[in-house]
Structure 1
Amino acid sequence: MAVYLITYDLNSPGQDYTKVYDEIKSFGSWAHYMESVWFVDTSYSATTMRDRLKSKIDSNDTVLISKVTEYSGWAPQKMWDWLNSRV
């Protein structure tokens, strides 16, 4: 298992992106403390998650998926607790 950061720009105002969020949640244990950033603890590869998300987003949307190995910043303590217990 590894923790990945998934971040995106969903560029179609008014679109219902519930299917995107539901797909991300299906990858494994997840944390969502910033508007367009998710963390997932999963056995899936970045490529597999990308391929699964492709059918859930519009052609003008962008997605970046990256394995988390080091992190720092300012965020709610709940996010740090989640990360610290998994990375």
Structure 2
Amino acid sequence: MSSVFLISYDLKDVKDYEELYQAIKDYSGWSHILESSWFVSTSTSSASDVRDNLQDHIDSDDELLVTKMPDSGSGRWATTFSDDTVEWLKDNL
């Protein structure tokens, strides 16, 4: 069974963070919902595992938050997300 995690970050300097973005996209399912926020779906049940994986791709002055989401059916959203994002949210939250 998959768990869904919210990943949010503040990257302090203008740098190339393609490695971070690719590490996020390497999870079995993902959605880039806001500029500095993603959802990922993965077989791990530990926010620490996700954090540890991503921490290798940021600098020591950056900030990273990983939060495990509650069971399906608890997410709500507003505004004009893309159709693909809305489908991902419906399928995973």
Q: Quickly name the TM-score band, shorter chain normalised.
A: 0.7 to 0.9
Say which is worse superposed, 25-34 or 55-64, in terms of deviation.
25-34
Instruction: Give, as a single letter, the amino acid of the residue that structure 2 aligns with 1:19.
Output: E
Identify which of 65, 72, 80 aligns with 2:86. Answer: 80
The CA distance in 1 between the partners of 2:68 and 2:86, in whole Å, is: 16
- The aligned residue for residue 46 of structure 1 is 47
CA contact (8 A) 1:27 1:49 kept: no
Distance apart, 1:33 and its partner CA: 2.6
**Letter in structure 2 aligned against 1:37:** S
- Report the Cα distance in structure 1 between the residues aligned to 2:27 and 2:49, rounded to whole angstroms: 10
User: Residue 81 of structure 1: CA displacement?
Assistant: 2.1
The aligned length equals 86
Task: State the TM-score, normalized to the length of structure 1.
Answer: 0.86
Give unpaired runs (5+ residues) of structure 1.
none
Structure ranking higher on relative contact order (CA contacts 8 Å, 6+ apart) = 1
Whether 1:26 and 2:26 are equivalent positions in the alignment is yes
TM-score calculated relative to the size of structure 2: 0.81
Query: Quick check: 70-79 or 24-33, which moved more?
Result: 70-79
The equivalent residue for 2:10 is 9
1:2 Cα deviation after fit: 1.1
> Aligned-pair RMSD on alpha carbons?
1.5
> How much has 1:35 moved relative to structure 2?
0.6
**How far apart are the structure 1 equivalents of 2:38 and 2:92?**
14
Q: Distance in 2 between matches of 1:67 and 1:49?
A: 10
Partner of 1:71: 75
Gaps of 5+ in 2: none
Aligned identity (percent) is: 38
| 1:17 Cα deviation from its structure 2 partner | 0.1
